[in-house]
Amino acid sequence: MEASQSFEYRDKHFGDTEGIVVATSENVFVPTSTTTLLLAAVRKSVNPNWTSALDLGCGSGVVAVVLKKLILPDAAVSASDISEEAVALTRQNAGRHGLAIECRAGSLFEPWSGRRFDVIVDDVAGMSEPVARLSRWYPPQIRSDAGESGTRWIVPILEQAPRHLTIGGEIFFPVLTLSHEAEILRAAESSFARVELITEQWYPLGGELLNHWAVVEDLMARGMVTLQKRGSRWLWATKIYRATNPA
């Protein structure tokens, strides 16, 4: 596998003076601002008692690398993805940083039967499939398959996560308003007693989606996505939630 480019993680809000660089590949989902926002939520909420962490839907492995190198250096960090190529890239990036990260391939929690973690950071695809296919984030070779509502993967993750968390363990997960946000939150609240919004960021809808406005408008009309109009612009958001396993 030939890595073709790189992604640098650095968050000035935490005083980062040096970036953490990972290799990326055209065949593996490239980290976005959602990944940075997700890591910021974990850093803001970090618990010194966490001794094990899982990067679920690891892609290039940037979340696992940042967890092990920067946030939880003494914890056992694991990572998995449905893509064998993504898992290979994560191993490569862990090796480049001299980090011991356990990497496995498989769908959702299949690679971790019987395992529990203190914290799970979920970055599995969660965008309405028509939107994903029209956006720059999901070129044809990148798998999404999240369904029209964008909930195909995140709902079972939230349903299964309590069985893979320690008592009092936490899962951090992004919810894009370019998916059926209400359905995702219903699933979270059915599985966890405590679900909190940690942070959110709003973005203008890009030209690649505005050029297919009829598709977006139809999804909005049927509740599959939610946009807000501010002035002349349509905006969408990434929201990062934390759900806590009951003690």
pLDDT of residue 139: 80
Whose CA is closest to 28, among 50, 51, 2? 2
pLDDT value, residue 2:
45
pLDDT over threshold 90, residue 247: no
Cα(66)–Cα(17) distance, rounded to whole angstroms? 14
> What percentage of the chain reaches a pLDDT higher than 90?
85
Q: What is the mean pLDDT of residues 228-243?
A: 95
CA 51 – CA 179 distance, rounded (Å)? 32
Mean pLDDT of the chain: 93
pLDDT of 29-65, one tens digit each?
889 899 999 999 999 999 999 999 999 999 999 999 9
Domains and CATH numbers, the chain: 5-203+237-244 (3.40.50.150)
**Does residue 1 carry a pLDDT above 50?**
no
Continuous H helices in 29-109: 33-45, 62-66, 84-96
Residue 208 pLDDT greater than 80, yes or no: yes
State which amino acid sits at residue 108.
Answer: L
Q: Per the structure block, which two tokens stand in for 239?
A: 């929201």
User: Range with the lowest mean pLDDT among 22-31, 138-147, 174-183, 196-205?
Assistant: 138-147
Cα angle 108, 114, 117; round to 5? 70
Alpha helix stretches (DSSP H) within the chain: 33-45, 62-66, 84-96, 129-134, 154-160, 181-191, 207-210, 213-221
> Residue 152 corresponds to which amino acid?
R
Tens of pLDDT, residue by residue over 116-173, are 999 999 988 789 999 999 988 888 888 888 899 999 999 999 999 999 999 999 999 9
DSSP state for residue 150 in the 8-state scheme: S
Tokens encoding 216 = 């977006």
In the block, residue with structure tokens 């720059």: 136
- pLDDT at residue number 19: 94
pTM for this entry: 0.94
Determine the pLDDT at residue 4. Answer: 55
CA angle 103, 162, 202 (to 5 degrees): 80
* φ and ψ of 47, to 5 deg: -115, 120
